[in-house]
A and B are shown apart, each in its own frame.
Chain A
């Protein structure tokens, strides 16, 4: 907060807060006492620009200018999209994944990987499967190239973690299998998503962060499909009771090629 007044005068922020009624009772009283005897200060108050009400007034006509018909149509479209999901489907939020991340991170810091309970899911609950991709997309939106740059990608650690995570998923995961040309393997993590282990293998590419995720979901095989969520491109498939996805902002073609390669190497 800049205070150009070295003479003990209140800063602009204080004056603005006072004008906006955001200054506490005590501070306001103090300021008013000063205003009473200080013409310069009073003059400064007057140069603060329009009152808040004037802004609100100026922006009022925009409400009437809103394209109501088109907006209502968009709402109807959203409602239609939403209605096709079963009403009883619980859609776990990012918080569930984030909480699991914290738990896991603490466990990892203590030198062991927290055991993840794997329970077989009854078939009717398999309808919640699309949500694991939503949770992954939510988490992925926290990640940028900058945030990945600070990670130490020590190969020995990654190798150990991959072995352990592979064990949880009953998959043979090794750095050799997961190393691809023009991708930096930065980090691997294990999450718990609705009591299913979800592995995330994080890469950095020329198109930004790309993640390869595997979840033990017990679903039947499904050929690869494409979707967009939360602004990400996602290629996903199911094989051998595990869901796989590749997610990033990279072009669809690149992700599909990657997905094809990874599907061959990991099974």
Chain B
């Protein structure tokens, strides 16, 4: 299907899978749900590939689709079934990932972010990990920019004891934390 509009989507999907999975993991706190979310995103993205405007950011488009599926389908189903959204194992999800000396701090960041309330956690992830601007994140989350700002400020207040940039840089250099 040369020249078919879904080719950039198809190629882009393959390259973006790990980032989609990571976002799905942060949203759901559950590895199985994360994989299901990624698959659902692939299906939806292919179905809607004619809506993707070539030349625009495919990764943003895919993350937005994933977010929409999470919010409208997966999350809604969990609430309806009375399965609280806070997965008891969520924090443990990251335990295998940051065990070396130099990565202990990274593990603390992961745990601290995962412990944030959902709205703050999502916003922190999109802006600080995925590098979205406030406006891009606001667009994806369908909230005003002001809401992005207050969520980030509130999250930072909770994460304040992770130390400032300079303190961390110093500690990392000494390999101590």
Contact = CB atoms under 8 A, between A and B. Distances in A.
Interface of A: 1-2, 11-13, 15-17, 20, 22, 46-59, 61-68, 70-72, 74-75, 77-79, 81-82, 87, 90-91, 93, 134, 141, 208, 230-231, 249
Number of chain B interface residues as a range: 35 or more
Contacts, number: 154
Contacts of A62: 22, 25, 94, 97, 110
B10 to A, nearest CB: 7
Interface in B117-153: 124-125, 127-129, 131, 133-134, 146, 149-150, 152-153
Interface string B87-106: 00000001011100001011
Interface in B22-67: 22, 25, 31, 35, 38-39, 42-43, 46-48, 50-51
Contact of A54 (B10, B98, B168): B168
Contact of B128 (A56, A78, A91, A249): A56
A74 B35 CA distance: 8
A74 B38 contact: yes
Given A67-B35, A231-B73, A57 B19 contact: no
Given A71-B35, A75-B42, A50 B168 contact: yes
A12 B105 contact: no
Contacts of A12: 153, 156-157
A1 B146 contact: yes
A15 B80 CA distance: 39
Given A48-B156, A66-B18, 10 more contacts: A13-B153, A49-B163, A50-B159, A50-B165, A62-B97, A64-B18, A66-B21, A74-B38, A82-B46, A93-B51
A35 B124 CA distance: 26
A47 B131 contact: no
Interface of B: 1, 4, 6, 10, 13-14, 17-22, 25, 31, 35, 38-39, 42-43, 46-48, 50-51, 72-74, 76-77, 80, 94, 96-98, 103, 105-107, 109-110, 113, 124-125, 127-129, 131, 133-134, 146, 149-150, 152-153, 156-157, 159-160, 162-166, 168
A49 B18 CA distance: 27
Contacts of B107: 58
Contacts of B113: 55, 58
17 contacts: A46-B164, A49-B156, A49-B162, A50-B163, A51-B164, A54-B109, A58-B107, A62-B25, A62-B94, A71-B17, A71-B20, A71-B21, A75-B42, A79-B10, A82-B47, A230-B72, A231-B72
Chain B interface, DSSP helix/strand/loop, else mixed: helix
A103 B99 CA distance: 58
B149 A74 contact: no
A72 B43 contact: no
A17 B151 CA distance: 11
B63 to A, nearest CB: 14
A54 B166 CA distance: 11
A91 B47 contact: yes
Contacts of A75: 13-14, 17, 39, 42
A249 B146 contact: no
